[in-house]
Structure 1
Amino acid sequence: MNRTERWARRGTQLIATLALVSAAVGCKDTASGGESSASKSPKPAASSKKPDSGSVKDDGKESAKESPDSSKKPGGKGSAGALTCDQLRNAELQNSSMRLPDAPEGTVVAFTDGRWEGDGVVIELQPQCGIGDMTGDPAADAVAAIKVTTGGTGKFYGLVTWRNDAGTPVPAAAVSLGDRTPVVSIDISAPERQATVVYLTRGDSEPTAVVTLRRTAVYRVTEPAMVELHHSDAPYTP
């Protein structure tokens, strides 16, 4: 065998050896990679979607906050603010439910700036006024004095109770005090729902042109009237 043939034979052997080594290395890597992938199982992908809070049940332990109840706000009947004496200057005075003594029958009477006039009768609101509960609900009512002039010499004084109807004065009860009996003061005792009224009057046998008594009378509302419970008199000198 000459030199050329020997070199060719050695080259063939070398190539075969390299091929065997490469094959062996490849098999080892494949076995190692399969073993690694088998021992390391892939983790499940985390969901990017957040839980829907609206679909989570709380089993009654925690619930959505209740929206405020509008019926509990101030302004409803019984929760309105107290009436004011100034409101009475433009308040209704007589309607189909409440007849005002000494006023024309069958006529709706309402003040305009503290005065009403019709059928020869003039009714004027007097400055004496009291604020407090007279009708038994939580809202403070109003009691005020009025003067009714019928065209003659008579000037008939009286009392009117206005019920607080959601902040609106509504006439509820009234009483006449008689001719030329001006009112001095009105005070309301809310717990007892009574109005203590001081006014000037006279004895039954005395002429109406004079006043000789200072009367303190206590009234309670029995719709549509104001009923006197009791009174006491003291001498009065003009």
Structure 2
Amino acid sequence: MIDWLDDSTLTFPPSSRALGPDSDAPGLLAAGGDLRPARLRAAYSQGIFPWYGPGQPPLWWAPDPRMVLQTANFKLSRSLRKTLSHFVRSADCEIRVDSALPEVLAACAEAPREGQSGTWILPEMQAAYLAWAQQDGCVHSIETWMNGELAGGLYGVNLGRMFFGESMFMRRSDASKIALAALICLCRSHGITWIDCQQNTRHLASMGAAEVPRTAFEAHLAQACPQAAPAAWHYHPALWTQLGGSFADEC
């Protein structure tokens, strides 16, 4: 049985009590409670995240293993390198940060996770992340703009020197991958070495993400989250040099 949370406490059960791999919902830890910023912060700092569908109460997850993209392991494919080179040189293309968070959330809600139908980014969840962003600036959107239009992007949570990726979308080819590459550059410049990807997908694995044991993930959070968060999130084209190597020479 999982624990039932109420609105009077922000305490979560230990992740060791999450349902195991032989259950119908591996990684499910608790249900109930609200989505106020204080609860979301408490959850993320412990490696717990909300994920549920229409008609369900908030469900809280702590899967084992955990999918993580270590920024040093990001794979810049030949095709993406070519796309990025064109993007960087185009006067009509740019990366923006936090200029259209509501729109990014709504667009991600229209793009189901790999292998799933429907959306988990319900209206109340969008409202919760927007409230968290307004309260203390922990939620960020990385946006790919082309010809004055929002072509793709992603959003996630920053606590200390840790970034928790939530979802991404694209309206034009490779626009979400461009946003992820920009996030890698931002994280490298801010000393953020791990990006939480929550669950294993082929798309993320192809870009360098890999599974780590939950114990290792929680140990990393324990040292990364208490650190001072980056003072500002904004994107300057010079950050593309964070991709290093020959690509840096092209920028």
Q: Which has the larger radius of gyration?
A: 1
Structure 2-normalised TM-score?
A: 0.21
Structure 1-normalised TM-score?
A: 0.22
Higher relative contact order (CA 8 A, sep 6+): 2
| More helix, by proportion | 2
